[in-house]
Structure formats: C-alpha cells, structure tokens
Amino acid sequence: MSLRPQSSAARVLFTLDGPWQFQPDPDDVGEAAGWTGGLPAPRPIAVPASWNEQYGDLVHFFGAGWYQTRLDLPPRAPNSVAQLHIGSAFYRCDVWLDGEYLGGAEGGYLPAIFALGERARPGSRLVVRVDGRLSPTTVPSAGQPSDPRDVFASFDQQFPRVGFDFFPYCGIHRPVRVTVLPEHHLTDLTVVTDPEGSDGVRVRVRVERSDARPCTLRLSLCGQELTMALARQHDEATIGLTAPRLWSLETPTLHDLRAELWDGPHLLDSYQLPVGLRWVELRDGLLLLNGRPVRLRGFGKHEDFPISGRGLVQAVNVRDFDLLRWCGANSFRTTHYPYSEELLDLADQLGVLVIGETPAVGLWFGEGWERRLERCQELTAGLIARDKNRPSVIIWSLANEPMSDRPAAEPFFARLFACARALDPTRPLMLVSWRGVEEAAYAHADILGLNRYAGWYSEQGQIERGVARLKAELSAIHAHYGKPVMLTEFGAEAIPGLHAAPPEMFSEEYQAALIAAYLDTTEALPFVIGEHVWNFADFRANQHTTRVGGLNHKGVFTRDRRPKLGAHLLRKRWRGDTDGSPPTLLPA
C-alpha cells in the first residue's frame, strides 16, 4: 500500500474529480467492441458518486459501467513516477490509458493504485470499467445457493438478491487522483506509540522506500529531530518524547511527523503524516485508552445519502460528526466496510473513536470458502495498511454476522485472526456475530460483538421480554468466553412522524423506548464495554416486505439527517440535557 497521495516539496497532486463521461454496458460487450480506447455514446456523470441515483434507468443496474475522462499532466521531471489512485470503485475496476491496459483491482472499498509510467501525455484518455456484479466467490457475496444452515435465507426474496441488508451501490465512490513522485521516494510509514515511564512515550517509526539507494533520513516530531543513514529499503527509528500532548477523546491532538529523504544537500522526497500519540489495550476486562477506561457509545453507520448514494460528500461527513457530538456519542463502527479516508480525517481531528470493519459481511462457508478466506485476508491486510496510523481507529472488526453454522467457519476465522494479529499486534480484534454463545469463532477474538434485536425481530412488540432475553444472552456469552462483550447492534425501525401511545412497533416512541430499555440493561453489566445503536441514519436497503419505501428505518435520524425521538433520547442520556441546539463542531 502506497502512502496516501499528498502535495509536498517533492510531490505533486492532481484531482480528477468532477464530471466524467459514462456508458452502461448491460450486455458486457464493451471490451470486445473497443471501448477501452473511448466510449461510443457516453453521457455525463458525477465522480465521485454512485451511478444508481444519478439516472433513473440505472437505479437497479449492477453490471459493468464504463467511465472516461481527459488526463492532462504537465511536463514531469525526468525519472519521476506517476500513479493513479482510485479511492473506491465498487466492485471491480479495470483501467486503460489511451487504450493500453494498466491493471485491475477487486474489492470496492479500498484504494486501487496504478502506475502510469511514461504513457500519459497531454490529452490522454483515461477509461475505467467498473463492474458491480457480485457472486458467491466475492466478498461481500451474492447469489449463493440457499441452505437451511444459513440464517439469512429470507434474503433470497429481496431485490436485488445479495447476501447483506443494504443497497449494493455501484460506481466510483471516492476521489480519483494522480500523484507525481520523485524517482527515489518513501512508500510507507508505520507509527506506533508505546508508553515509557510515568509521562513519556516512545514513538517507533518504520520507514519503507522505493529502493535501497544510500541516503539520509530526517524525521521531525514534536520539536525532536532524528537523522540516520539508510542503506536498506526499510528501516526503523525511535523517537523518545517527554510529557507530550496525547491524543484522547477530550484533546484529540495531532502532531505532524515529517519524513524526508536527502542525498547530501539535495532533497529526494518529503512526506508529512498527522500522528496522534495514544495507545490502546484490554486489561481486566476493560478497554483502555492511554491507560484510562473508556466506554464506547455511538452507532453503526452507512455511507449513504440521497442522490450521491455511497459517493463521498464532504458536507455530509461534517454534518454527521456534528450530529454525533450533538447526541453525545464518542464512537462508531464502519459497518460493513472501510469508510472514506476523508471521513476518518474528521474522526482523527475531532476525537471520535472508530471500529474499522472489513467488507466481510454475511460470510458464508459453503463451497469455495478457501477462496473467500484468501479475499478476506487480502482485504484485512489492505484495511490495516490504509488505516494503521490513525489514532481514531482503535479496534479491527474482521467480520459482521457470518453464517457460521458450518464446520469450515471456525478454522476459517482461526487463520483470519492470526493474519490480522501478525499485521497489527497493537489493536484488539473483534468479531461481530448474531449467534451469541454458539459462535465458536469468538474463541479467536479479543472483543465479542453481539448484534441483537430482541423486541424487534423476536419478542415483537414486547420490549420487557426482549431485554430479559438480552441480559441472559450477554451473561451467558461472558460466562462462557470470559472476554469483554460489546453490544454492536440493537434498535427498531421508526417511520418518521409515526406516533403511538402506548408505544407500538414502527412508531418513534417504540424505537426510543427500546433503546432506553437496552441501555438500562447493558449499562448495569460490568463486562459490557459499550453499545452502538443500529443505525445512525435511515439508509437505502433492498426491496423487501420489511423495508418501507426501500429504506431501513432503524436510524435515529432520517436519511436527510432530521432527528427522531430516539436521537433526543440518546442526547438526554449521553449528554445529560435536552437542549436542542447543536454543539460547536470543533473541540475546545
């Protein structure tokens, strides 16, 4: 994974966001017909954004779609390196420049990076084919054969038929950029903070670069400078700091780590990385940040908004963090895939904790599970490589609601968790399951995530019975595994404006009453380290008899971010007041 694109004294960055040209390819004939060199009948389209909500005829189009734009790079320094970065294209993308194939990438939620080499010239045509089709072998998946062992068999009746309960948006969803690097450049930085003594820290910096050419590394952090000779492609340096300002919920201080490569008096490369000095650990059943207990309260979310679909909209991200803080939330989980780097920038800046989750939602363990394991290992490695330096990201979640009632599930997760621990031993690992105490893969996780909808999907309309079941299940899980437990999803659908007294299902009152009863239950259990309401905001789902208007209405905010009674209930509990005015966004 290359470093995130940025401009510096040695690097140049260009954005290709804006209007592109687009042509759907429902019969998948584009490559054979020569569309790699240019589209015969394109229409305008916005990038980044999903294609499904930009045109009426594309709402339920999940096949191959072709994008093209003009690429004009100014003259480059000799031997410089040009790279194309596509932040997210769901599900697979393939790229051509002036008809020459640059490569492809699969997965949809992590950056795809392509070397432009010397091919780019003024007026070059960049063509990107995005294929939104999912299959039983992809992660996430669709179209797997029905089996009574797989709990989500009812998904067979939804449209479109996929193995998860949210809309499978397609398109280029995050920024497209070109970065021009010097010939000899940094390729990766890994920063780890360890406590040292009563008030100091030791910051370990692993440096990787494009080659082993002898040069000098200069690091600067918090006024401390370190200079060392490099003769290998990767090396590690340590910087000791006394009484630095730590990153925390209350004071999310970011320090700039500057890394430079020098050849005598000549600057070869320069990169600046925001660093939050903090450490995370589990001890005595508690989640600790910088040695202090923290309880997670917040939400599951989705990248979802009208018109843009899953596409990045910076204003929506800013508003969402404002509303998170308005509620008094301190965290969220990136359900059920990695979110944009731009959103995580805000989490770093504002002191919001993040559980980073892979796209392994609704995993099934039938035929071909070995290939899905390979994909999950690749996606886990990609997520860790991208977000390992973010202070806000404190836990890795390796899967959500796997259909794990099959013999292959436990060895599958044994290998996946071992892979993640080898890549990052500094963060706890989580598995989020619906199965409760019967989830054998819990044995491999550090934190046990439970999704539970008693009082909604079961014990319908009976909140008191639902929370009694919840308490018994949570206690049984902890007694069996002896590990911290987190209630990772709970909630009820509330149709905006629907009211009932006494509370009845689908009313705003019922949603608020269920949330309150769940919190009363879990907050009294010392082994529960937090609760995330499902969901922050209503989001687009697949058409089904339980999805009124094609939306999942479990949000405490509407899809356009208007609060329901549940949001006001959470504000009262988490902030201790009922004042409706939103707080200032920036931390004090």
Structure tokens at 144: 């797997």
The answer for residues whose C-beta is within 8 angstroms of residue 266's C-beta and 6 or more apart is none
pLDDT at 151: 65
Bridge partner list, 214:
none
- Secondary structure (DSSP) of 127-156: EEEEE----TTSSS---PPP-TTSTTGGGG
533 touches 456 (CB < 8 A): no
Nearest CA to 234 out of 188, 268, 196, 199 is that of 188
160: number of Cβ within 10 Å: 14
Distance in angstroms (rounded) separating the CA atoms of residues 490 and 504? 17
Phi-psi region of 321 (alpha: psi -120 to 50; beta: other; left: phi over 0): alpha
3-state secondary structure of 354: strand
- The answer to whether 485 and 450 are in contact (CB under 8 A) is yes
- Distance of alpha carbon 558 from alpha carbon 220, whole angstroms: 45
| Strand pairing category for 485-489 and 447-451 | parallel
- Per the CB < 8 A criterion, the answer to whether 325 and 347 are in contact is no
Q: Can you tell me whether residue 182 is helix, strand or coil?
A: coil
Give the pairing of strands 296-300 and 528-533.
parallel
Output the pLDDT for position 385: 97
Spell 322-351 as b/e; 16+ CB within 10 A means b: bbbbbbbbbbbbbbbbbbbbebbbbbbbbb
Q: How many residues does the chain have?
A: 588
Would you call 439 a catalytic residue per the annotation?
A: no
3-state secondary structure (DSSP) of residue 384: helix
Which residue in the list 303, 401, 493, 531 is annotated as catalytic? 401
Separation CA 43–CA 134 (nearest Å): 25
Say how far apart CA 477 and CA 489 lie, in whole Å: 16
489 is catalytic: yes
Using alpha carbons, list the distances in angstroms from residue 296 to 249, 354, 395, 401, 489.
Answer: 11, 9, 11, 20, 12
Ordered structural domains, the chain, with CATH: 12-132+168-181 (2.60.120.260), 186-278 (2.60.40.10), 281-575 (3.20.20.80)
Q: Mapping DSSP to helix (H, G, I), strand (E, B) and coil, where does residue 92 land?
A: strand
Q: How far apart are CA 252 and CA 294, in angstroms?
A: 15
- Give residue 340's pLDDT: 98
Please report, in tens digits, the pLDDT of each residue of the chain (588 residues total): 579 999 999 999 999 999 999 999 999 999 999 999 999 999 999 999 999 999 999 999 999 999 999 998 888 888 899 999 999 999 999 999 999 999 999 999 999 999 998 878 888 999 999 999 999 889 998 887 777 676 654 456 778 888 888 999 999 999 999 999 999 999 999 999 999 988 999 999 999 999 999 999 999 999 999 999 999 999 999 999 999 999 999 999 999 999 999 999 999 999 999 999 999 999 999 999 999 999 999 999 999 999 999 999 999 999 999 999 999 999 999 999 999 999 999 999 999 999 999 999 999 898 888 999 999 999 999 999 999 999 999 999 999 999 988 889 999 999 999 999 999 999 999 999 999 999 999 999 999 999 999 999 999 999 999 999 999 999 999 999 999 999 999 999 999 999 999 999 999 999 999 999 999 999 999 999 999 999 999 999 988 888 888 999 999 999 999 999 999 999 999 998 655 554 444 333
CA diameter of the chain: 77
Q: By C-alpha distance, which of 388, 451, 437, 439 is closest to 412? A: 439
pLDDT at residue 153, rounded to an integer = 47
- On whether the CB atoms of residues 532 and 331 are closer than 8 A, the answer is yes
Which two three-digit tokens encode residue 103? Answer: 């490569």
Q: What's the rounded Cα separation, in Å, for the pair 199 and 445? A: 31
Q: Using CA atoms, how far apart are residues 113 and 557, in angstroms rounded to an integer?
A: 36
User: How far, in Å, CA of 394 to CA of 388, rounded?
Assistant: 9
Check 53, 489, 493, 508 and give the catalytic one: 489
Report the side by side order of strands in the sheet with 286-289.
280-283, 286-289, 292-293
Query: Chain centroid to CA 305: how far?
Result: 16
DSSP label of 557:
B
- Distances in Å between the Cα of 550 and the Cα atoms of 150, 167, 334, 474, 541 are 24, 9, 22, 32, 5
Q: Exposed/middle/buried for 52, CB within 10 Å: 0-12, 13-18, 19+?
A: buried
Which tokens hold the place of 581? 């005015």
Can you tell me the distance from the alpha carbon of 272 to that of 219, in angstroms, rounded to the nearest whole number?
10
Based on C-alpha coordinates, what's the Rg of the chain? 24
